[in-house]
Amino acid sequence: MKFFVTGVGGQLGHDVMNELLKRGHEGVGSDIQENYSGVADCSLVMKAPYVALDITNKDAVEKIITEINPDVVIHCAAWTAVDMAEEDDKVEKVRAINAGGTKNIADVCKKLDCKMTYISTDYVFDGQGTEAWKPDCLDYKPLNVYGQTKLEGELAVSQTLEKYFIVRIAWVFGLNGKNFIKTMLRLGKERGAVSVVNDQIGSPTYTYDLSKLLVAMIQTDKYGRYHATNEGLCSWYEFACEIFRQAGMDEVKVTPVDSSAFPVKAKRPSNSRLNKEKLTEKGFERLPAWQDALGRYLKELKGQEGL
């Protein structure tokens, strides 16, 4: 199969491209930068065909994707700076990328009759209560601009296409980019102590594990909305404690605090639990436990950065 992957300069796009190429598929990657700008890890994505693409440019999107003529588009590119998205002078740009850019891609997929996978987020919900959100729940109530624009992207896909997968994820970490784990390791070394919120509950998602599921999923016709994170629940505080434990940094003091201790521009959901039963029902393999994923990730990180 021939794939076109957006956002290969980011955590997930990088791993998706590598997984596709490892499985012998043909893949073309893209991002906003003129050349591939992700981690220089000598992985397959660095050698793969790459095209620079501004997804907000409708004509460019149509021209490039039509020329490539893929069987599948996996759309990982997005504006993900959640707090910056709240700034008045950024809202229009965030919407142009997350909603408009997604609609541009969906329109071309419809014209070419190719499949599309859209990566979304638990932020489309209001994060209230303690029950896990089901993938086909339509009770959307985003708390911030990022969540609202990602929801608009979802609707652009579902209202334009029939052959689509919308996959919501949360608490993402991977080798290619910034994430909570890297931040904790850095702060732990610099300060020897961190304070971490203990009133937001969810499940981390390792992009390496997720990429395997996405590639398996797209080769089927089991279209629809799905939730995909690593198995198990934790708070950010519990996540941080496990990071330091597995990294052999038990000397770091971790203090649990309420979200109110960290005022931010964009309100975060307190309940990021995602129900993943649909994966099982449709015959897809669930992702490993988040603790297992963390251990494997730390080994990869150590090899990459010499930690």
Which tens digits make up the pLDDT trace of 260-270? 998 899 999 99
Residue 265 confidence (pLDDT): 94
Residue 304 confidence (pLDDT): 78
Which tens digits make up the pLDDT trace of 41-75? 888 888 899 999 999 999 999 999 999 999 999 99
Domain map of the chain by residue range?
A: 2-176+204-230
Mean pLDDT of 17-23: 95
- Using alpha carbons only, give the angle 275, 233, 255 rounded to the nearest 5 degrees: 145
Which tens digits make up the pLDDT trace of 102-130? 999 999 999 999 999 999 999 999 999 99
Residue 305 confidence (pLDDT): 67
Helix (H, G, I), strand (E, B) or coil at 206: strand
Residue 42 confidence (pLDDT): 84
pLDDT at 295 over 60: yes
Catalytic positions, written as ranges: 146
Place of tokens 């003129």: 34
Quote the mean pLDDT of the chain.
95
Helix (H, G, I), strand (E, B) or coil at 271: strand
Place of tokens 């859209």: 118
Predicted confidence band of residue 183 (pLDDT cuts 50, 70, 90):
very high
- Enumerate the H helices of 131-281 as residue ranges: 145-160, 180-191, 207-218, 236-246, 277-281
pLDDT at 306 over 80: no
Residue 40 confidence (pLDDT): 82
- Enumerate the H helices of the chain as residue ranges: 11-22, 58-68, 91-95, 102-112, 145-160, 180-191, 207-218, 236-246, 277-281, 290-305
Mean pLDDT of 272-288: 98
- The superfamily in CATH containing domain 2-176+204-230 is NAD(P)-binding Rossmann-like Domain (3.40.50.720)
Which tens digits make up the pLDDT trace of 223-232? 999 999 999 9
Sequence-separated contacts (24+) of 98-103 with Cβ below 8 Å: 98/146, 98/149, 98/150, 98/152, 98/153, 99/149, 99/152, 99/153, 99/156, 100/56, 101/55, 101/56, 101/61, 101/77, 101/153, 102/55, 102/75, 102/152, 102/153, 102/156, 102/157, 103/153, 103/156, 103/160
